[in-house]
Amino acid sequence: SQTIHQWPATLVQPVGSPLSLECTVEGTSNPNLYWYRQAAGRGLQLLFYSVGIGQISSEVPQNLSASRPQDRQFILSSKKLLLSDSGFYLCAWSELGGWQPQHFGDGTRLSIL
């Protein structure tokens, strides 16, 4: 069966520091991969999605970037964190096809001080 791993679970970082969040998927090949941010425990905002290695689409202009160095690895990064980057970050994967559901990791709670 497929599993998705996301780490760390929580992270406290000072303003201006770099960021690297990692997500890996097991048990499937060539998945679509997604990064979301959730503010205040409610609505989800799609940040990035990827349909293959090295292929990244950005949904909103921001202080963050994403990379997909391997088929089942998706990384969210920042060179200098802002206070507004605080939030709950969720990684997700899906099979190809619009009818396929997305499956989410357990999320990373990021607090910027």
Partner 1 sequence: GNSVTQMEGPVTLSEEAFLTINCTYTATGYPSLFWYVQYPGEGLQLLLKATKADDKGSNKGFEATYRKETTSFHLEKGSVQVSDSAVYFCALSPNAGGTSYGKLTFGQGTILTVHP
Residue 70 structure tokens = 């391997």
Cβ density class 35-50: b for 16+ within 10 Å, e for less: bbbeeeeeeeeebbbb
Q: Rule CB under 8 A: is residue 61 a binding residue for partner 1?
A: no
CB of 65 to partner 1, least distance (A): 19
H or E stretch at 77 = strand 73-78
Residue 105 interacts with partner 1 (CB under 8 A): yes or no? yes
What x-and-dash track marks residues 29-58 binding partner 1 by CB under 8 A? Answer: ---x--------xxxx-x--x-x-------
Residue 21 interacts with partner 1 (CB under 8 A): yes or no: no
